[in-house]
Chain A
Amino acid sequence: MNRTRTLIIALVVAVLLQASVIPYLAIGIIRPNVPVLVLAFTAARRGPYFGVIAGFLVGLGVDLLSTGFLGLSSFSFSIVGFLIGKVFYSDVPMSVGRWAVASGVATVVWAILFMYIYTLGTQAGLLAVLMRQAVPTALYTWVIGMFWAISPLYERRGGVRLD
């Protein structure tokens, strides 16, 4: 119960930060996405079932604060939560190496999936959008995720810094 409460708080804080402070870290229109990192860690530590639920809820929160398609973030985050939970779930604390791969997969899958659906029916070229927006966003998010992995907080939340 305590872990679930911590998880909910972490997800809510991530969404709030995303809409307030994170835009100040933007390089052009490229901004890191904190909710996807929290989701990836949650799914890898607690499995696909919690990954899907967390993904859906955090996605819904993001959707409600945006003007885009309601349901687009919950769709993409649900898939990311499921995928990371299925592939990277483990009982043992997560090493930095495994986190690097898990967060990398999560950010890339999420960014590509989101932008693919977002550009459907528009005149914007998908490849150009992926190269200009999705991939740089995924990379920037992953770098922020790696900074977190080398912070003391990472160990307290169930990660280990050494294999």
Chain B
Amino acid sequence: MNLLALLAALRDWVALILALLISLVLMNSSSHPAADTFRGGMGKTLSFITAPLTIIPRSVELWGENAELRAKVVELSGEQNDWRDAMLENVRLRKLLGFRDRPEFTYLASEVIARDPTITLTSLLLDKGRRDSVKIGQAVVTADGLAGIIHRSDRSSSVALLAIDRNFAASARVERSRVDGIVRWAGGESLELTEVPRNLDVKAGDRVVTSGLGGVIPGGIPVGVVTRVKRQEGLFLSVHIDPYVRFSRLEEVFILLPRGGSR
């Protein structure tokens, strides 16, 4: 009886300790497949409930975006003619040199139906899933560059892990000097190219693209521009990157599907 009275008197503390203990247990079981399946179901339910709430803000954004895109189409049509000649020449030269053909991809357009509700913007719920051939590990891009990878795929939806997630890593390369490294989150909306030996040539203003070395994300996708290179103590450089993609404004993305079946 005394114990019950004591527990009742300390119920605030008991509730807090219990809540924290359960939270810690949950943190340790985050990657459990059952948790993933349950979260997938929650995401779909959420998108069904919240879809009507987003009609007005989405329409306003799309209106502005439409005008921007029309201007861009005109600009890109001109550029496309110049690129076509260069591409044909590239194909001829690659054949002459006996280079292996690059794997080809198709772009599957996908709409963002929900965003991560936590303080960090680390994931997006997309409206395409396994029935559209979306699989874990496929690259997610926008017209500007690399946005992330597919982290989970259900029948009709999938979750994209953005490049600004703490667990994201992709092999990348400095376009000018061909220096390889690994792109990781560096806080906020910025990225860092890690594992770059300190004697290699990297400068502010260099473009960083994916290298394709990891075998997960194809090479050549723009990642961002180097903003700062710090020659710190130790073996590696600290290379800060400003990503091309504005993660907070993503409405539609493209999932890269390997052409002619799964990879």
Please list the residues of chain A having a beta carbon within 8 angstroms of any beta carbon in chain B. Answer: 15-24, 26, 28-29, 31, 33, 35, 47-49, 52-53, 55-56, 59-60, 62-75, 78-79, 82, 85-86, 111, 114-115, 118-119, 121-125, 128-129, 132-134, 137
Contacts and interface: CB of A to CB of B under 8 A. Distances in A.
Contacts of B173: none
B186 interface: yes
Main secondary structure of the interface of A (DSSP, over half): helix
A67 B161 contact: yes
Interface residues of B, number: 58
B30 A69 contact: yes
Given A18-B117, A21-B57, A74 B15 contact: no
Contacts of A31: 119, 121, 248
Interface in B223-263: 246-249
Interface stretch (B42-50, B73-81, B135-143, B213-221): B42-50
B192 interface: yes
B118 interface: yes
Given A16-B46, A16-B49, A47-B12, A123 B23 contact: no
Contacts of B49: 16
With most chain A CB atoms within 10 A of its CB, the pick from B22, B119, B186 is B119
B91 interface: no
Interface of B: 11-12, 15-16, 19-20, 22-30, 35, 38-39, 42-43, 46, 49-50, 53-54, 57-58, 61, 114-123, 151-152, 159, 161, 164-166, 184-190, 192, 194, 246-249
A66 B16 contact: no
B133 to A, nearest CB: 21
A65 B30 contact: no
B233 to A, nearest CB: 15
Contact of B118 (A20, A49, A68, A86): A68
